[in-house]
Amino acid sequence: MADLYALDLAFDLVEATPDTVLAEIRRQLTPDEEGATLLATRGPAWRVGGMLVGEFGPGERGGWALTARQEIHAEQLPDLEDLLMLLAPHIRPPGPVGRIRFYEHESPDLLVLREGRVVQLALDPR
């Protein structure tokens, strides 16, 4: 059995987001030889269906916009948590930032910014 998750992220970052944070997002969107980046895969998903994408650039209302759909392995979940902790103070406005779904489940869990951190809310108790 594969321990894969469908990850969807879509949110804006404030204009004052530090350069170090912006650099980390760009690094995560850039493929490396070891496959250690979370948001860099492009093309058809192996197990979760659809296409894998990652886009980052200036936002329509200032600041920055990030959209990504990726297939991640269970061992990457701590890296995802670290990335979201880094980004949380700069996400605008509080509310939903994405979703994550174990590939065998029908419904995803929401990723929501609450009180300065991203929390996972189950939509379907399992």
3-state SS assignment for residue 28: helix
Q: Which residue is associated with the tokens 């350069």?
A: 19
Spans of the chain below 50 pLDDT: none
What is the per-residue pLDDT across 70-104, written as a single tens digit (0 to 9) for each?
999 999 999 999 999 999 999 998 889 999 999 99
Q: Which residue is associated with the tokens 């980046």?
A: 37
**Burial of residue 95, with CB atoms counted within 10 A of its CB: 0-12 exposed, 13-18 middle, 19 or more buried:** exposed
What per-residue confidence (pLDDT) applies to 76?
95
Instruction: Tell me the C-alpha distance between 67 and 56, whole Å.
Output: 7
Q: Is the pTM of this model over 0.85?
A: yes
Domains of the chain and any CATH numbers: 4-122 (3.30.70)
Q: Which residue is associated with the tokens 């192996």?
A: 46
What per-residue confidence (pLDDT) applies to 52?
98
